[in-house]
């Protein structure tokens, strides 16, 4: 049968299949919408668990060692039970080969394994236990402690478990550098390095228990050295040595002034926020910094810092797990948008969500205003309260949600929406794209500093956020006549991969980036985007799994290319939404993807999803959003129904 005729017949079969599936789609949407609505908090928001890997629990044990060191091997009462529970949580996630991974079904990873082993040893687990021996064997096979990143080495150096000589220095003088160098770093790096610089600079002795060390984790015959990132990295290594000399022999009055400035910077950003940056690493270092600065145990700032940090713990009798942060704005905006797209959402529930979101508009100038001093504050953060760090991605998604969710005060909603649109327009970077928190945060020189190996020193424009912003702005009435839309479209066209996909910075990975890029292009109605979207269709179809779904591994990041994984509900939804945005709602790929979602939906109305499909730091830290399995399938099935 000739190719065109065969394709025509397949198209007709697929159309018939989808027509026959319409009642099942309606039934699935009814069940999933009911399940999602039932999860709404009485205050109007949605917020599900946000989970990561075992390194959070491992670092928590180190924090307890900092705050409540054991005496004669016995932990103080405030820490004993929680250290035991943290160690159990860590041990429960050990892999068969003895190591620990950084995403579900991923391979053992050196940093997670070293930190887990150390936490267990601190928690009293015998190094001769079979599971500890396997962990040690796996650590050495992965390169030993020498192969760990700067984050691990710096943490260990604070307890004399790693030589300070080979741990990168983070000087507090960074807050005093001219030309606002601090603000060339990503917002999360800023929030981490400032309190860490205080801890390093004061250098209070925090030795591990007497006789405790992790010398067995060092791989034999591998020299210790400062990390070096390329040819410029050698220069920075020499600079690091100079900084260490400065720490010993520099002007004390300059160091004290830098410490005061860093302290003020840090505390200023805890106001109107649930902790510094409202994320785990910076909140942990804040506690350590306040302790280093001799803030008394009953000081309000120290009490507040510990409380918001420990609020991130999910704790029951048989469970102890940290969340890296909360995700209420993200979950609420996506849930409201998904329910609104169905067309028959519970209006009372939608109104409560709109009122709740409006109450959380950021109205104070944050770090972003250093580069945009004249821009009126607006936008939304990711967490419950993080006034200094509204982010562009959440702001765009809230604007999409507010198209359906109507607040109790329409005039107020109109004012908020207008400010948010203007803020998004003002946060466009020079390259035409949008980043997460800042503009033009792409000074690549900073990627070469010794402590930049967490792969997130910068916050450059990315296709996934740019696509979402384009969709939000164009659905608000902006067209290709607007220069911002023209530049955003051009950014996406220039950043398409050779195979037709787009890189996803904040979701795993190419399936996520492609889904958002094509939605932005489709909303723009840019004629020049059609060839790019056609290539995206072919790529998405080419990576569909045999079961009809889509799945992509976190391994795509270090490999630099798409790596297939078992199908997930969220990634299947992204694949379907990509096809729909490109005008394909009736192909065989669509029919198979829809059937996958229908066949795997649970009686409760949602879907199982065990893999990490969210991204914190590519190649380093991944996220499992427990609500992705709810709202993304709703969006996909709703789109295929229309």
Q: Which residues contact 570 (CB under 8 A, 6 or more apart)?
A: 609, 613, 625, 628, 629, 632, 633
pLDDT, residue 445, reads 87
pLDDT, residue 198, reads 97
Which range marks the domain in which residue 287 is found? Answer: 51-322
Rounded Cα distance between 3 and 499, Å, is: 23
Sign, CA dihedral 426-432-433-436, equals negative
Cα 637 to chain centroid, rounded: 26
Flag whether 214 is in a domain. Answer: yes
Rounded Cα distance between 639 and 642, Å, is: 6
CATH number at residue 284: 1.50.10.20
- The residue among 185, 188, 165, 166 whose CA lies nearest residue 175 is 185
Flag whether 437 is in a domain. Answer: no
Partnered with residue 51 across adjacent β-strands are: 624
φ and ψ at residue 551, rounded to 5 degrees: -155, 135
Residue entry with tokens 């760990």: 148
Flag whether 96 is in a domain. Answer: yes
Flag whether 98 is in a domain. Answer: yes
Rounded Cα distance between 287 and 183, Å, is: 23
- Asked whether the beta carbons of 112 and 151 are under 8 A apart, the reply is no
Flag whether 549 is in a domain. Answer: no
Sign, CA dihedral 552-553-558-562, equals negative
pLDDT, residue 75, reads 83
- The residue among 584, 577, 640 whose CA lies nearest residue 20 is 640
pLDDT, residue 313, reads 98
Cα 186 to chain centroid, rounded: 13
So which residues are the catalytic ones? 393
Flag whether 27 is in a domain. Answer: no
pLDDT, residue 79, reads 84
Domains: count for the chain: 1
Cα atoms in the 13 Å half-sphere on the side-chain side of 525: 9
pLDDT, residue 641, reads 84
pLDDT, residue 233, reads 59
Q: What is the DSSP letter of 605?
A: S
pTM: 0.95
Structural Rg of the chain based on CA atoms:
25
> 228, exposed or middle or buried, with CB in 10 Å at 0-12, 13-18, 19+?
middle
Rounded Cα distance between 521 and 536, Å, is: 11
Q: Any alpha helices (H) in 495-625, and if so which ranges? A: 510-524, 530-542, 556-559, 569-581, 588-600
Flag whether 595 is in a domain. Answer: no
Q: How far is CA 33 from CA 36, 272, 616, 619, 638, in A?
A: 5, 34, 28, 34, 11
Flag whether 575 is in a domain. Answer: no
Residues of the chain short of pLDDT 70, as ranges, are: 1-14, 205, 228-238, 240, 243-246, 249-251, 642
Partnered with residue 74 across adjacent β-strands are: 71
- Asked whether the beta carbons of 287 and 333 are under 8 A apart, the reply is no
pLDDT, residue 69, reads 87
């Amino acid at each position: 049968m000739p190719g065109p005729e065969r394709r025509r017949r397949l198209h007709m079969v697929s159309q018939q299949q989808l027509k026959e599936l319409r009642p099942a789609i309606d039934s699935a949407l009814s069940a999933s919408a009911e399940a999602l609505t039932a999860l709404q908090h009485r205050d109007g928001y949605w917020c599900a668990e946000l989970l990561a890997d075992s390194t959070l629990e491992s670092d928590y044990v180190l924090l307890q060692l900092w705050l409540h060191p054991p005496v004669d091997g016995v932990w103080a009462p405030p820490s004993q039970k929680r250290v035991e529970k943290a160690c159990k949580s860590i041990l429960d996630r050990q892999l068969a080969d003895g190591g620990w991974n950084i995403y579900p079904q991923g391979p053992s990873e050196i940093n997670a394994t070293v930190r887990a082993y150390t936490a267990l040893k601190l928690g009293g687990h015998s190094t001769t236990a079979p599971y500890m021996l396997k962990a040690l064997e796996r650590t050495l096979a992965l390169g030993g402690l020498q192969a760990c990143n700067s984050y691990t080495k710096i943490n260990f150096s604070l307890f004399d478990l790693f030589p300070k000589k080979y741990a990168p220095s983070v000087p507090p003088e960074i807050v005093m550098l001219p030309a606002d160098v601090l603000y060339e770093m990503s917002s999360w790096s800023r929030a981490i390095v400032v309190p860490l610089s205080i801890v390093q600079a004061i250098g209070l002795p925090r030795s591990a228990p007497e006789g405790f060390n992790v010398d067995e984790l060092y791989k034999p015959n591998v020299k210790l050295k400062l990390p070096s990132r390329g040819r410029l990295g050698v220069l920075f290594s020499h600079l690091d040595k100079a900084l260490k000399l400065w720490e010993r022999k520099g002007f004390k009055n300059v160091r004290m002034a830098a410490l005061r400035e860093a302290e003020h910077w840090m505390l200023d950003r805890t106001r109107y926020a649930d902790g510094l940056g409202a994320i785990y690493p910076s909140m942990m270092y804040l506690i350590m910094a306040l302790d280093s600065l001799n803030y008394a145990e009953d000081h309000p700032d120290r009490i507040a810092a510990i409380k918001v940090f420990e609020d991130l713990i999910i704790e029951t009798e048989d469970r102890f797990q940290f969340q890296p942060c909360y995700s209420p704005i993200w979950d609420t905006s996506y849930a409201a948008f998904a329910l609104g797209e169905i067309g028959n959402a519970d209006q009372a529930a939608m109104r409560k969500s709109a009122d709740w979101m409006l109450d959380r508009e950021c109205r104070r100038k944050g770090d972003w205003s250093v580069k945009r001093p004249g821009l009126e504050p607006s936008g939304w953060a990711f967490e419950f309260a993080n006034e200094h760090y509204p982010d562009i991605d959440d702001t765009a998604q809230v604007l999409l949600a507010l198209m359906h969710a109507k607040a109790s005060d329409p005039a107020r909603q109109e004012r908020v929406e207008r400010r948010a649109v203007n803020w998004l327009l003002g946060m466009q970077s020079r390259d035409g794209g949008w980043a997460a928190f800042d503009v033009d945060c792409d000074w690549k020189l900073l990627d070469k500093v010794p402590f930049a190996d967490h792969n997130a020193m910068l916050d450059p424009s990315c296709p996934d956020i740019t696509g979402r912003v384009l969709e939000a702005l164009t659905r608000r009435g902006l067209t290709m006549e607007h220069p911002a839309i023209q530049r955003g479209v051009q950014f996406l066209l220039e950043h398409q991969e050779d195979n037709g996909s787009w890189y996803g910075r904040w979701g795993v990975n190419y399936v996520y980036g492609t889904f958002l890029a094509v939605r932005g292009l489709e909303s723009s109605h840019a004629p020049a985007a059609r060839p790019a979207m056609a290539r995206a269709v072919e790529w998405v179809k080419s990576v569909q799994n045999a079961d009809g779904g889509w799945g992509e591994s976190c391994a795509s990041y270090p490999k630099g290319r798409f790596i297939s994984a078992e199908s997930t509900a969220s990634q299947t939804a992204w694949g379907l939404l990509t096809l729909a945005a490109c005008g394909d709602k009736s192909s065989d790929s669509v029919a198979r993807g829809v059937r996958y979602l229908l066949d795997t939906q649970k009686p409760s109305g949602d879907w199982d999803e065990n893999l990490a499909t969210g991204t914190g730091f590519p190649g380093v830290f991944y996220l499992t959003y427990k609500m992705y399995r709810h709202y993304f399938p709703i969006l996909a099935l709703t789109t295929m129904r229309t």
